[in-house]
């Protein structure tokens, strides 16, 4: 198929349609309005349904109903809207419903601003809502990767019967890049039939009840162990990351995800021209996190630099990965400000000259 120049938001919508998602429930919020707008135009063309819900609370519960009926379904929002969906996401995880949720992050807290941010990392990977549950979280760094990950997300959601979150930032949503959709794409997993869906019962199979309520504590404990077993399998089988420059020698390791990693890669190229050698690990799955890849890559480096558009969220996972074995440095912008390649270059130079302050924890 030929390449098309598409906005990230539109590519995300189209990828969902290509993955067989014919139901979309959403509510407008900047900077991802182009996703529901695209779906409102596109879904009727394929016999699908778009509903503008009255709120994100409603949209996320429409998701629950549609997913529980065995259909592929997606919603998208941006930070404040995702917070409103958090309750339903806990129920979706508890009831083991496969859905795809897109968060095009904007700067917070509160109403914050509408410009790009990565300040929902901890919410997405660790603390979305009440209860012991995890989302599979994937973070694209380009429009093409956003499209690819959305398609994979539907397969992963169905395979694990778990919500999958696509975590992008305002840049991913707004920028246009060439995208290609592979024809005749095969699912990346062998997918069992959705015989658990509640679609009416003629007595030929057990009744389906879509539910997250377990009043018997023993039963709920068993359920939580069952969920944990899924998360363990994800940690074993679904870790995704990319590396650059790790084969050669390098003095410094950069860890960054999403569009920030692209800014870092530009900086790293510039430094290479000046003979400064830097390696990079870019986590693509944020849960499960590529702890081992970061740990091993850090071994060869003299120091590790984390670059984020937040006050310091993913850096906690990098700390867990390297366990104090190397000096850790941090470069960040927040509030919708972006890190520029020059800032990354300057920071790396400061680290090599010894003028950058290490991140120290009491």
Partner 1 sequence: MPETVFSKPQALRDVTTHYCPGCTHGTIHRLIAEVLDELGVRERTVGVAPVGCSVLAYNYFETDFHEASHGRAPAVATGIKRARPDLVVFAYQGDGDLASIGTAEIVHCANRGEKVTVVFVNNAIYGMTGGQMAPTTMPGQVATTCPLGRDVDLSGHPIRVSEMLSTLRTPAFVARTSVHTPLLSVNTKEMLRQAFTYQVEGRCFSLVEILSTCPTNWGIPPAEATEWLEKNMLPYYPLGVFKTPESGSRESMPLER
Partner 2 sequence: MQNDVIMAGFGGQGILLIGKILAYAGMHEGKEVSWLPSYGPEMRGGTANCTVVISDRPVGSPVIRSPRAVVAMNLPSLDKFEPDVRPGGLLLINSSLINRKAARDDLTVIEFPANQIANELGNRRGANMVALGVYLGATEAVSLEEVVEVVRETFAAKPGVIEINITALHRGHEIGAACAVGV
Ligand X SMILES: Cc1ncc(C[n+]2csc(CCOP(=O)(O)OP(=O)(O)O)c2C)c(N)n1
Binding footprint of partner 2 on the chain (CB under 8 A): 3, 5, 30-31, 113-115, 170-171, 174-178, 259, 262-263, 265-266, 269, 336, 338, 340-342
The yes or no reply on residue 351 touching ligand X (CB under 6 A) is: no
Q: Contacts with partner 1 in 96-125 (CB under 8 A)?
A: 110-111
The least distance separating partner 2 from the CB of residue 265, rounded to whole angstroms, comes to 5
The interface partner of residue 174, options being partner 1, ligand X, partner 2, none and the CB cut-off 5 to 8 Å by kind, is: partner 2
> Is the separation of the CB atoms in 154 and 19 below 8 Å?
yes
CB of 345 to partner 2, least distance (A): 11
Quote the least distance from Cβ 232 to ligand X, whole Å: 34
Q: Are 102 and 75 in contact (CB under 8 A)?
A: yes
From the list ligand X, partner 1, partner 2, none, which binds 175 (C-beta under 5 to 8 Å, kind-based)? partner 2
Instruction: At 206, list the tokens.
Output: 């057990």
Residues 54-113 that bind ligand X (CB under 6 A): 56, 80-81, 84
34 touches ligand X (CB under 6 A): no
Q: How far is the CB of 85 from ligand X (least distance, A)?
A: 9
Question: For residues 105 and 169, is the Cβ–Cβ distance under 8 A?
Answer: yes
**C-alpha to C-alpha distance for 333 and 307, rounded to whole angstroms:** 9
CA 242 to chain centre: 15
Distance CA(65)–CA(69), nearest Å, equals 6
Query: Within the chain, what is the greatest distance between any pair of CA atoms?
Result: 73
Which of ligand X, partner 2, partner 1, none does residue 302 bind to, with CB < 5 to 8 Å depending on kind?
Answer: none
Task: Using CB under 8 A, pick the residue from 13, 19, 25, 27 that binds partner 1.
Answer: 27
The only residue of 6, 29, 150, 339 in contact with ligand X, by rule CB under 6 A? 29
**174 belongs to the binding site for partner 1 (CB under 8 A):** no
Sorted by sequence, the CB contacts under 8 Å of residue 96 that are 6+ apart come out as 161, 162, 196, 227
Kindly state the smallest distance separating residue 102's Cβ from ligand X, in Å.
14
* DSSP tally for the chain: helices H, then strands E: 12, 14
CA dist 141 → 156, 217, 259, 353 (Å): 19, 42, 5, 30
In angstroms, give the least distance from the CB of 167 to partner 2: 18
In whole angstroms, how close is the CB of 240 to partner 2 at the nearest point? 18
Beta bridge partner(s), residue 101: 75, 165
Q: By the 8 A CB rule, do 306 and 318 touch? A: yes
- Euclidean distance between CA atoms 355 and 351, whole angstroms: 6
Residue 168 touches which of ligand X, partner 2, partner 1, none (Cβ within 5-8 Å per kind): none
Cα within 13 Å of Cα(296), Cβ side: 8
CA nearest to 345, candidates 282, 264, 273, 233: 264
Reading the block at residue 97, the tokens are 């419903």
Of 53 and 95, CB closest to ligand X: 53
Under the binding rule (CB under 8 A), the answer on residue 25 touching partner 1 is no
CB 11 within 8 A of CB 181: no
Give the residue, chosen from 4, 18, 20, 37, that forms a contact with partner 1 under the rule CB under 8 A.
37
122 lies in the site for ligand X, by CB under 6 A: no
Residue 320 touches which member of ligand X, partner 1, partner 2, none, C-beta under 5-8 Å by kind: none
Residue least distant from ligand X (Cβ): 29
Binding site for ligand X (CB under 6 A): 27-29, 56, 80-81, 84
């Amino acid at each position: 198929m030929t390449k098309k120049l598409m906005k990230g938001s539109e590519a995300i919508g189209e990828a969902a349609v290509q993955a067989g998602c014919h139901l979309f429930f959403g509510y407008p919020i900047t900077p991802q309005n182009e996703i529901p707008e695209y779906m409102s135009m596109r879904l009727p063309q394929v016999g699908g349904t778009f509903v503008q819900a009255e709120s994100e609370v409603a949209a996320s519960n429409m998701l629950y109903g549609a997913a529980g009926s065995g259909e592929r379904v997606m919603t998208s929002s941006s930070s404040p809207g995702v917070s409103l969906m958090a309750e339903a996401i806990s129920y979706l995880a508890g009831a083991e419903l496969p859905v795809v949720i897109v968060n095009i992050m904007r700067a917070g807290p509160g109403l914050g601003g509408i410009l790009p941010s990565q300040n929902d990392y901890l919410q997405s990977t660790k603390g979305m809502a009440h209860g012991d549950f995890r989302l599979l979280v994937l973070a694209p760094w380009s429009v093409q990767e956003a499209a690819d990950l959305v398609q994979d997300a539907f397969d992963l959601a169905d395979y694990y019967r778990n919500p999958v979150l696509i975590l992008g930032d305002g840049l991913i949503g707004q920028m246009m890049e060439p995208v290609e959709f592979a024809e005749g794409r095969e699912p990346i997993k062998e997918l069992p039939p959705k015989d658990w869906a509640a679609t009416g019962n003629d007595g030929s199979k057990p009744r389906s009840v879509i539910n997250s309520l377990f009043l018997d504590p023993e039963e709920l404990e068993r359920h939580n162990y069952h969920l944990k077993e899924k998360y363990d399998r994800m940690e074993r089988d679904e870790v995704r990351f990319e590396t650059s420059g790790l084969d050669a020698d390098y003095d410094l390791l950069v860890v960054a995800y999403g569009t920030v990693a692209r800014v870092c890669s530009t900086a790293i190229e510039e430094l290479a021209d000046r003979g400064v050698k830097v390696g990079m690990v870019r986590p693509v799955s944020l849960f499960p996190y590529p702890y081992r890849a970061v740990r091993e890559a850090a071994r060869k480096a003299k120091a590790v630099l984390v670059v984020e558009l937040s006050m310091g969220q993913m850096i906690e996972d990098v700390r867990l990965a390297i366990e104090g074995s190397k000096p850790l440095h941090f470069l960040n912008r927040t509030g919708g400000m972006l890190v520029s390649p020059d800032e990354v270059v300057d920071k790396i130079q400061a680290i090599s000259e010894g003028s950058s302050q290490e991140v120290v924890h009491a």
